[in-house]
Amino acid sequence: MNTIAISDLLFPAFEKNALRNLPQNFGMEFFVEFGPVEYWRSLLPQFNIQSRPISLHGPCVTVNLANPDDTQYLSRYEKDITFGKEINAEFIVVHTNEQWSGNRKDIQNLVIERLQELDKLAQNIAGPRLAVENVGLLTNNLFNESEYIELFTKFPNIVSLIDVGHANVNQWNLPYVIQTLNKKIIAYHLHDNNEKKDEHQPIGTSSINWTELFKAINTYSPNATKVLEYANGTFKSMDQLLEHLNSIESLMTTK
């Protein structure tokens, strides 16, 4: 399956109604951190989630796996994984870290230990797969290109989600990363930037070589979900978004 999905980052909060008009052949990804389970349980049926691919973005504001003082990560992820199972989500996005300080190797080991805990939790719940995203820009990039790739030799059940915008700022060799991880990649967060800031701009509007990138994506991970994770305000209506999707259709299928 070659799914194109839309992140609700584009239409958050009171603007989310625009997603009701998203055609059924597109998937959706929701930042479930910003509301209790009861809120999402009542809201999501409006978007016909039972008849389209769904993924959830795990906590990235209230949880930091790289913070030794964070004691809430397991309970928070347990709620999200359980809810993900309830709605038949395909995967849950996991950030390795937010801001961190201290000895880099020690913090890496802490995150790896916590990922092992989350992996065990997800297996016990039999919920969605955990998709670990490359996060952290420049000096906050806890796992560099080679270290991120190595993570997936440690966890047989955890899969990769490549955020191409983050990788672009950190100057990763994306075609190499994609070729190396290949079928371990379950999804991509697609957005453009100027190589300096995490701008979450539309595909084709800034510095990324999308022809080269989609060739690698479609060659080595053809079944991965392509999630458009655009900044709020990028498009004012669903009609504008659909026009954009139509304009990049041939680019996204480059082989």
Domain span at residue 131 reads 4-252
What is the reported pLDDT for 2?
77
Q: Give the total number of structural domains in the chain.
A: 1
Residue 159 makes CB contacts below 8 A (sequence gap 6+) with 91, 129, 130, 131, 132, 152, 184, 185, 186
What is the reported pLDDT for 44?
97
What distance in Å separates the CA atoms of residue 13 and residue 192, rounded to the nearest whole number?
23
CA 100 to chain centre: 20
Distances (CA, A) of 58 to 46, 135, 151, 158, 244: 21, 13, 19, 14, 27
What is the reported pLDDT for 210?
98
Mutual angle of helices 73-86 and 104-125, in 10-degree steps: 40
- pLDDT tens track for 32-43: 999 999 999 999
Distances (CA, A) of 126 to 42, 91, 120, 129, 130: 23, 12, 10, 9, 11
Q: Which two tokens stand for residue 196?
A: 């300096």
Q: Which two tokens stand for residue 231?
A: 């900044």
Per-residue model confidence as pLDDT tens for the chain (255 residues): 679 999 999 999 889 999 999 999 999 999 999 999 999 999 999 999 999 999 999 999 999 999 999 999 999 999 999 999 999 999 999 999 999 999 999 999 999 999 999 999 999 999 999 999 999 999 999 999 999 999 999 999 999 999 999 999 999 999 999 999 999 999 999 999 999 999 999 999 999 999 999 999 999 999 999 999 999 999 999 999 999 999 999 999 999
CATH number, domain with residue 63 = 3.20.20.150
Neighbours of 9 (CB within 10 A): 20
6 φ/ψ angles, rounded to the nearest 5 degrees: -120, 130
What is the reported pLDDT for 1?
61
In contact, 122 and 154? CB cutoff 8 Å: no
What distance in Å separates the CA atoms of residue 95 and residue 135, rounded to the nearest whole number?
6
- pLDDT tens track for 91-132: 999 999 999 999 999 999 999 999 999 999 999 999 999 999
